[in-house]
Structure 1
Amino acid sequence: MPEPRSLSAAVARRYLALHHLLAPPRALPPERDSVLRVMERLGSFQFDPLGVAGRNHDLVLHARIAGYRPAWTDELLYEHRVFFETDNKALCILPTAELPYYRITWDRSRHEHERETLVANAELPARILARLRAEGPLSSLDFERGPAIDWYWGPTNQVRAVLEALWESGVIGLARREGNRRYYDLTERLYPSELLEARVSEREQLRHKLLSRYRANGLLGDGGQAEIWYGVSVRGEDGKRIAAPVRAELRTELVAEGALIPVAVEGVRGTRYLPAEARGLLAQAEVELAAGLPPGGSSPGAAFLAPLDPLCWDRDLLRQLYGFDYVWEVYVPEHKRRWGYYVLPLLLGDRVVGRIEPRIERATRTVSILGLWWEDGVDPRATPGLVDAVRDALADYLAFAGADRLHWGAGLSRPGRLFGTPRPNRSQRRSA
């Protein structure tokens, strides 16, 4: 393993802003091709259906694309089929061209489900597949409701569980979503046969999955939270998953081949790794800082980061590099929350300066701000550019949400006076 290159914390933060297309935020053109550009850079968007502030992948793209419209991603997923959904860390949107590198997810799920759910409900899979073959895309509501059976989070309608098992196994795929309702069709009708028939070795698939995590975040290390590395493992002779040694071996190969560059970052524990294609961005970060330029050479902008934005994947890195302690409290009982239900990190330039809790009230076309907190040492009035940047971010967020008005919640009269009541940026108007 080569000696890690030393990076200052300032260079690392600037590099990450550039890598994540956030220097400045919302700078990519307002067009569908910009979604492809973000995918090319990050490699995947994590999907989460909660929409209180906008779905996770839509927030990721809104932070980077001017006038982003969720319909663009839906078209790429369900009409043009250049994206598909499967597990990579969690459920993610991925390039369809990379489908052969993610078959391991389908194959492992099929192995599990064929021993359990699909066998225990043997007649139902055949009936579902026959109807899909004859009728085309269907949802669980198109089938007679079955009995409840044990499933991931508790007892679930038998039809829904079998549909999900077939989907996770790659037998069927998502034809479209209507809200949070999924419509399925036969995989063979959704994706090109040459991709479905292509086979890549399990080792190559694991290498690809591992590298995809480093590409997405831009500065992951050897460890971190287990969910970052989900699926990059093999099963030993005793049936148990072997994860860390497999990752270490594959990572050593990727470093030896020059696909990953080891670095030591000031204030961050352990070795970190840059994807090789990031060399130019690292050089740009060093030049900008040496010249005293803001990120990307433009006035610093503000962005509301999605809870599962790739920049936020490694909570240890957020804490050590940005001094930002972030917990997504959506699954934390209300009485135990420190901040709020759906709180977003607030980025200014290459610093995390606070957190904000917006909520989209679609019935009244209103965005309510339920909370706004500044990090220690951040005075919004004394921080150059902050007030204008946050005001612009709020105006763009209103447009993203399809809202006409901004409401400041209880106890927020002071930021309400500071930032006013920005109107939606009409050039970015759409509906979340």
Structure 2
Amino acid sequence: MTQLPLSPDEFRLLNLQQQGLLQKAKGKAGTLTMIQQLGYVQIDSIHVVQRAHHHVLASRVKDYQSPWLDELLVKKQIFEYWSHAAAYLPVADYRFSLYRKQQLQQGKKHWFDPNHQQMHEVLARIRAEGPLKASDFTATQAKNGPWWDWQPAKQALEQLFMQGELMVVRRDKFQKVFDLTERVLPAGLDCRVPDEQEFAAYLVQKYLQSHGFGSVSQISYLRPGIKAAVEQQLLQQTEAGQLLSFLHQQQRYFWQPDLLPPARCRRQISLLNPFDNLVIQRQRLAHWFDFEYQIEVYVPEAKRKVGYYSLPVLYGSSFIGQLDVKADRKNGVLLLQHLLLLPKVRLTAQLAQALAQALADYCRFNQCHSWQLVKADAEVSRWWQQQGLGGTLQQEMLAG
């Protein structure tokens, strides 16, 4: 084990590089490449602004268009399943989803106890009728029997999906449309179920590919029962000279030394999604970027410090604050509900220019024609006005 082989700044740059945040991909092909690089893109239903999975990709793909994701799914180049959460994954990684599916088929519980009779009925109907979504099972008693209502049908569909008997063939107004797995999978796909060590090796490879370096707990994040196998894989690869290990802040990290950071990065702002791959592990974010972040969607309104849907603000290789956002779609205005910058941030003209560009890009992404600052502290508000950052400044000046 060595001491820190690169500086903390260099490791941060390596992380950003492997996350695709320093050099944007292009077009639909670049979208697929980025999903392959990241390993997964988390799906989330919150819609106060564009949904998380589209935002993650728009942060990394030049001129990203949301229909591209649907097209990649329909063309069977990606698929939906569970990573640490619901996600889009590269279809080349399909066989590694079978590890969890096999566990569920053998009785491991996901969310609820399976109702095998309902699952049998749902499967039979899809086999006979073709792709269906949960709302298609909201039917009359005369047609389908007394148990057919939305909730039990949805549970049966989700269990069959998690076990691997159904796959999502497309989305219809964000509802999953399910079909039999054998009718969805492309021909010739590797469907061998990996053993524990193969699965652990896969997790190590994907995490180091997408982050550059990681710890046992980070690589095993929200993957119950696999931590010991991941640690064994890391130790074996380190002993074989494939990885180096080092200590940072009393934590052991593993690094693939042929992955090197760029010399520098542009001083640009990225407004990242709360479910972005870079920020989803809060302990890692605090450890390497000295940035404490919590999404407050699940926090009672009276206890929120920033706002319902705050975006981490990345400037160059440092996080400088948060921005709570909401799209007023009726009027085409992006509401900047609360801009909170860290005390260490220098309010310069260069920062204002970078922020204006990031806001313009984010407005276009949300089909908004302008933005409007609603709340900020007194110093930030004065700087905002002095720099002519646009929009209508609508707030009460806070004491400060």
Bin for the TM-score computed over the shorter chain: 0.7 to 0.9
Structure 1: gaps (5+ residues): 150-155, 234-242, 289-293, 423-432
Whether 1:321 aligns to 2:288 is: yes
In the superposition, relative to structure 1, how do residues 91 and 258 fare at CA in structure 2: closer, same or farther (>3 Å)? farther
Partner SS, residue 380 of structure 1 = coil
Letter in 2 for 1:63: S
1:30-429 equivalent positions in 2, closer than 5 A: 31-77=27-73, 79-112=74-107, 120-122=115-117, 124-144=118-138, 157-195=151-189, 197-223=191-217, 229-231=221-223, 233=225, 243-265=226-248, 268-275=249-256, 279-282=258-261, 284=262, 288=263, 294-295=264-265, 299-381=266-348, 385-410=350-375, 413-414=381-382, 416-417=384-385, 418=387, 420-421=389-390
Partner SS, residue 421 of structure 1 = coil
What is the aligned residue count? 381
Letter in 2 for 1:281: L
In the superposition, relative to structure 1, how do residues 329 and 228 fare at CA in structure 2: closer, same or farther (>3 Å)? farther
CA distance in 2, matches of 1:98, 1:118: 28
Aligned-pair distance for 1:391? 0.6
Partner SS, residue 324 of structure 2 = strand
**Structure with the largest fraction of helix:** 1
Aligned-pair distance for 1:141? 1.4
Q: What percent identity do the matched residue pairs reach? A: 25
Aligned-pair distance for 1:140? 1.2
Matched-pair contact (CA < 8 Å) for 2:336–2:375: no
Partner SS, residue 231 of structure 1 = coil
In the superposition, relative to structure 1, how do residues 216 and 192 fare at CA in structure 2: closer, same or farther (>3 Å)? same
In the superposition, relative to structure 1, how do residues 76 and 411 fare at CA in structure 2: closer, same or farther (>3 Å)? same
CA distance in 2, matches of 1:259, 1:136: 48
Partner SS, residue 53 of structure 1 = coil
Matched-pair contact (CA < 8 Å) for 2:114–2:159: no
- Write the deviation string for residues 295-330 of structure 1: whole angstroms up to 9, x where unpaired: 1xxx42110112122211332232232221111221
Quick check: 209-218 or 299-308, which moved more? 209-218
Quick check: 102-111 or 385-394, which moved more? 102-111
Structure 2: gaps (5+ residues): 140-145, 392-400
Aligned-pair distance for 1:82? 0.7
Partner SS, residue 205 of structure 2 = helix
Provide the TM-score with structure 2 as the length reference. Answer: 0.86
In the superposition, relative to structure 1, how do residues 162 and 415 fare at CA in structure 2: closer, same or farther (>3 Å)? farther
Residue of structure 2 in register with 1:429 after alignment: none
In the superposition, relative to structure 1, how do residues 76 and 115 fare at CA in structure 2: closer, same or farther (>3 Å)? closer
Aligned-pair distance for 1:397? 0.5
- Write the deviation string for residues 197-245 of structure 1: whole angstroms up to 9, x where unpaired: 4333332123213432333333322335xx9522352xxxxxxxxx443
Residue of structure 2 in register with 1:7 after alignment: 6
- Write the deviation string for residues 311-366 of structure 1: whole angstroms up to 9, x where unpaired: 11332232232221111221122222222111111011111111111212223222
Partner SS, residue 294 of structure 2 = coil
Partner SS, residue 358 of structure 1 = strand
In the superposition, relative to structure 1, how do residues 315 and 338 fare at CA in structure 2: closer, same or farther (>3 Å)? same
Provide the TM-score with structure 1 as the length reference. Answer: 0.80
- Write the deviation string for residues 252-310 of structure 1: whole angstroms up to 9, x where unpaired: 12333455432344xx431222345xx3433x3xxx2xxxxx41xxx421101121222
Partner SS, residue 367 of structure 1 = strand
Aligned-pair distance for 1:113? 7.0
In the superposition, relative to structure 1, how do residues 256 and 195 fare at CA in structure 2: closer, same or farther (>3 Å)? farther
